[in-house]
């Protein structure tokens, strides 16, 4: 067992040496693989473009393939065909709304699970005007409504639950597409899923150019941050029932911190799922950290300090440098989970602004908000 572990560790180490920057987009034998994302690829066979979805949730070996057809007469050429561009689609995730917004495709969104989680003003207005419908819980979407309202595709984020509902949808000709952007571990990999949306909305070029700009800005700003001599020590996460939950090693949040040239105190701690730390350990290791990010649902420092007697002693709290990610464009939802997925460049800019305020003097935080005193 130990030798297996060693081999796996060496492979992981070696694969880790290839940073996404070193990778090249591969266009070989009509196959196209993304630069950062690992969950999808495209290929062309007999003039038809196929979208391949791979391992849509961590640890899965599940795959999907869809033939993307633009001409009605070609629809019978493949068993899992999707007519593009999509004119009527539904989704179980707000992050998909973010992708659609970048591509100006909110018009074609017809239903979403848990509409109250949507931050976009435009989408909220459409919900109020009954142009976009509530689809119910994401694990139990309203299958009947989707079938009777000719939804052309359902974008699903879940990890394979409710397969019976999805079987019925597929039987009715509504393909269920697993969008696995949330299981990608690089912020740019998550954003790169815009190319899948671009293909489905027949806006591939637009999607490519949007991503190119996002990537360019992200990398450029990250380089800029790394020119700074100091790297402020930060802590991240929140306390619940005496346990501190924090982003684990190799998570996409850690990648953000690294690229924003922030020194995340627990960057080397390994764990399955999120880090769960004892408050004494938190205090012992993080009392001098100058910034606290992602501090859960609190809008002000007062209730936060009441969570544990050691919290007021943290340097970040004393310096009043505690930030949450609860910003929204309307009175509902959280922008970070919506626009933040497709715009990692802006999230990064926020983080750089927090850690290195001298770099972007006129930048206003878009996703992060400082907790009030």
Partner 1 sequence: MSIKTSHTRLFLYLILGLIVLFCTNVFLGSIHISIEEFFRGLYDASSTNHLIIHAVRIPKALSSILIGIGLGLAGFLMQILFRNPLSGPYVLGVTTGGSLGAALFILGSALFSFGFIHPKFGIPLFSSLGSLAVLAMILVVYKRIKDPMTLLITGILFSSISGAVISLLAYFSSAERLREFVFWSYGSTHLMNTYELFLLALSCVLCFVFALKNAKPLEAFLAGDVMAKTLGVDVDKIRFQIIIFTGLTVGVLTAFAGPIAFVGLVVPHISRQILKTSNVRLQLISVSLIGSLFVLACDVVATLPGSALSLPINAVTSIIGAPILLFIVIKTKRFIF
Residue ranges that bind partner 1, judged by CB under 8 A: 55, 57-62, 111, 133-137, 139-145, 147-148, 158-165, 167-168, 171-172, 182, 272-274, 276
Nearer to partner 1, 56 or 198 (CB): 56
Nearer to partner 1, 34 or 180 (CB): 180
Q: Whole-number minimum distance, CB 274 to partner 1, in Å? A: 7
Give CA angle at 160 (158, 162), nearest 5°. 95
Rounded to whole angstroms, the Cα distance separating 209 from 95 reads: 20
Find, among 260, 261, 322, 253, the residue nearest to 286 by Cα: 322
Q: Whole-number minimum distance, CB 126 to partner 1, in Å? A: 16
Q: Whole-number minimum distance, CB 40 to partner 1, in Å? A: 17
Find, among 76, 84, 244, the residue nearest to 152 by Cα: 84
Nearer to partner 1, 14 or 61 (CB): 61
What is the DSSP annotation of 350-366?
HHHHHH-TTT-TTPPPS
Nearer to partner 1, 132 or 335 (CB): 132
Q: Whole-number minimum distance, CB 135 to partner 1, in Å? A: 5
| Pairing outcome for strands 89-91 and 81-83 | unpaired
Nearer to partner 1, 181 or 345 (CB): 181
Nearer to partner 1, 166 or 218 (CB): 166
What is the DSSP annotation of 25-89?
-EEETTEEE-SS-SSEEEEEETTEEEEEEE--STT---EEEEEEE-SGGGGGGSTTEEESS-SSE
Nearer to partner 1, 64 or 290 (CB): 64
Q: What is the 3-state secondary structure (H, E, C) of 185-226?
A: CCHHHHHCCHHHHHHHCCCHHHHHHHHHHHHHHHHHHHHHHH
| Burial (CB count <10 Å: 0-12, 13-18, 19+), residue 104 | exposed
């Amino acid at each position: 067992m130990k030798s297996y572990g060693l081999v796996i560790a060496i492979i992981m180490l070696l694969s880790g040496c290839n940073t996404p920057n070193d990778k090249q987009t591969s266009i070989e034998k009509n196959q196209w693989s993304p630069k950062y994302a690992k969950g999808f690829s495209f290929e062309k066979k007999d003039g038809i473009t196929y979208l391949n979805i791979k391992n849509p949730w961590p640890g899965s070996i599940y795959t999907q393939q869809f033939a993307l057809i633009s001409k009605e007469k070609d629809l019978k050429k493949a068993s899992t065909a999707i007519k593009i561009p999509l004119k009527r689609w539904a989704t179980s995730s707000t992050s998909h709304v973010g992708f659609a917004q970048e591509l100006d495709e909110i018009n074609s969104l017809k239903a979403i699970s848990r509409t109250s989680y949507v931050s976009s003003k435009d989408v909220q207005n459409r919900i109020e005007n009954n142009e976009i419908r509530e689809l119910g819980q994401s694990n139990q979407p309203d299958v009947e409504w989707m079938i009777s309202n000719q939804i052309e595709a359902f974008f699903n984020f879940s990890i394979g639950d409710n397969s019976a509902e999805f079987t019925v949808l597929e039987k009715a000709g509504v393909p269920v597409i697993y969008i696995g952007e949330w299981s990608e571990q690089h912020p740019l990999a998550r954003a790169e899923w815009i190319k899948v949306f671009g293909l489905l909305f027949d806006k591939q070029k637009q999607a490519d150019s949007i991503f190119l700009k996002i990537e360019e800005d992200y990398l450029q700003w990250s380089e800029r941050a790394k020119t700074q001599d100091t790297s402020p020590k930060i802590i991240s996460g929140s306390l619940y029932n005496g346990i501190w939950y924090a982003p684990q090693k190799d998570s996409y949040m850690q990648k953000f911190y690294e690229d924003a040239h922030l020194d995340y105190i627990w960057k080397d701690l390994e764990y399955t799922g999120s880090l769960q730390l004892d408050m004494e350990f938190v205090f012992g290791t993080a009392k001098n950290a100058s910034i606290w990010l992602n501090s859960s649902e609190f809008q002000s420092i007062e209730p936060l300090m009441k969570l544990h007697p050691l919290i007021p002693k943290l340097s970040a709290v004393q310096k009043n440098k505690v930030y949450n990610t609860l910003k929204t464009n309307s009175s509902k939802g959280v922008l970070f989970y919506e626009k933040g997925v497709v715009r990692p460049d802006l999230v990064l800019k926020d983080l750089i602004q927090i850690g290195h305020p001298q770099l972007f003097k006129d930048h206003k935080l878009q996703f992060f908000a400082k907790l009030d005193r």
